């Protein structure tokens, strides 16, 4: 055992024990939690960074993921020291933001309640005890920072119904981007990697088993289309106005205007606290850089997307 592990393990046990006491009693949220929902390579990380910088929000930081079983305990310890005041940078590397205070997807923390596979988790999967615990943890987390909680992870694509079951008051922010651009960005990543996971880079929709093609470009197109269709199906199934839509290109041109529009949406019809502004953000962002594709590859992507749009305009999900 390394010295680092020898120090970490007793601390981890102590914090986990304290966490159990902190969440032993149910707690209702003082704020509406916010969940960003979007396919990979849609610009959702930039949106996450901008929202946590512009608004006074709390989130699972990179530092907190080191002790994933005690998020509330860490929130209480870190809140006096700016634990959820993100750095003034909007750089990221394929969804990862550097720095201890950088916003994280919180995968290790969510793993306490949400299964790894299959990745789509509709309502009714989590037990009543798990749902109460998630609701209490996020409520106590918000209490520590006196601010609404926000989270962005690609797994949210398949958790819309489960999250809405836990948090009927939740707000979902959907980031949209031209499917061609999302596929082109995934294609660049595919070509830059040689590991076995380079094709499946992100969330796997419930019907991933239907993707049987040997053509990696077609595979990536189906990933994007199937994921977007699944999100849209769950939105319809939810049957309530809890979704705010952001379009990547427009957001890059006028981010503050988009966030102000969201602030109005967040407070509409809700008696709780309004969003507080925290820091300024750039007047605009440069759209993500992607290299030009050979004409044949670009046309292949467009052809696959056209065919998929004609064949599967939407996906109805039953489970």
Three-class secondary structure of residue 302 per DSSP? helix
pLDDT per 10-residue tile (average), the chain, 319 residues: 69 90 94 96 96 98 94 95 91 83 95 93 94 98 97 96 96 96 93 84 91 95 96 88 93 98 89 90 85 91 95 52
H-helix or E-strand spanning residue 255: helix 255-267
Say how many C-beta atoms besides its own lie within 10 A of residue 68's C-beta. 18
What is the pLDDT, as a whole number, of residue 316?
A: 47
Backbone angles phi, psi at 34, to 5 degrees: -120, 130
Task: Answer yes or no: are the C-beta atoms of 164 and 121 closer than 8 Å.
Answer: no
What is the pLDDT, as a whole number, of residue 318?
A: 45
Task: Answer yes or no: are the C-beta atoms of 226 and 207 closer than 8 Å.
Answer: yes
**Is the preceding peptide bond at 118 cis, omega within 30 degrees of 0?**
yes
What is the pLDDT, as a whole number, of residue 158?
A: 96
From the list 109, 315, 292, the residue with the least C-alpha distance to 207 is 315
Report how far apart, in Å, the C-alpha atoms of 51 and of each of 36, 184, 270 are.
10, 26, 20
What is the pLDDT, as a whole number, of residue 317?
A: 45
Please give the Cα distance from 280 to 283 (Å, whole number): 9
Angle at 69 between CA 67 and CA 75, to 5 degrees: 70
What is the pLDDT, as a whole number, of residue 5?
A: 64
- The pTM for the full model equals 0.93
Buried b (16+ CB within 10 A) or exposed e, 153-173: bbbbbbbbbbbbbbbeebbbb
Sign, CA torsion 16/21/24/29 = negative
Please give the Cα distance from 290 to 123 (Å, whole number): 37
What is the pLDDT, as a whole number, of residue 4?
A: 64
Three-class secondary structure of residue 76 per DSSP? helix
What is the pLDDT, as a whole number, of residue 295?
A: 94
Task: Answer yes or no: are the C-beta atoms of 106 and 52 closer than 8 Å.
Answer: no
Three-class secondary structure of residue 37 per DSSP? strand
Q: Strand runs (DSSP E) across 12-67, as ranges?
A: 34-37
């Amino acid at each position: 055992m390394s010295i680092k592990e020898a120090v970490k393990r007793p601390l981890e046990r102590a914090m986990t024990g304290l966490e159990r006491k902190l969440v032993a009693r149910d707690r209702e949220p003082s704020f509406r939690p916010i969940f960003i929902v979007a396919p990979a390579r849609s610009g959702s990380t930039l949106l996450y960074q901008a929202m946590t910088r512009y608004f006074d929000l709390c989130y699972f930081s990179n530092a907190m993921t080191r002790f994933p079983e005690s998020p509330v305990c860490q929130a209480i310890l870190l809140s006096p020291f700016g634990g959820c005041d993100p750095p003034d940078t909007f750089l990221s590397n394929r969804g990862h933001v550097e720095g201890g205070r950088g916003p994280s997807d919180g995968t290790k923390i969510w793993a306490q309640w949400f299964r790894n596979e299959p990745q789509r988790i509709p309502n009714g999967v989590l037990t009543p005890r798990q749902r109460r615990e998630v609701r209490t943890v996020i409520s106590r987390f918000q209490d520590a920072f006196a601010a609404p909680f926000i989270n962005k992870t690609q797994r949210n694509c398949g958790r819309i119904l489960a999250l809405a079951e836990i948090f009927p008051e939740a707000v979902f922010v959907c980031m949209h981007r031209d499917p061609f651009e999302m596929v082109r960005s995934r294609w660049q990543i595919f070509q830059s990697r040689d590991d076995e996971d380079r094709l499946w880079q992100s969330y796997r929709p419930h019907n991933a088993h239907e993707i049987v093609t040997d053509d990696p470009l077609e595979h990536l197109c189906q990933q994007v289309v199937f994921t977007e269709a699944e999100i849209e199906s769950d939105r319809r199934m939810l049957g309530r106005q809890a979704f705010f839509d952001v379009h990547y290109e427009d957001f890059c041109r006028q981010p503050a205007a988009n966030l102000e529009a969201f602030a109005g949406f967040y407070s509409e019809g809700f008696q709780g606290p309004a969003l507080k502004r925290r820091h300024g953000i750039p007047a605009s962002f440069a759209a993500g850089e992607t290299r030009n594709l050979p004409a044949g590859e670009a046309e292949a992507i467009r052809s696959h997307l056209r065919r998929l749009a004609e064949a599967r305009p939407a996906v109805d999900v039953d489970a």
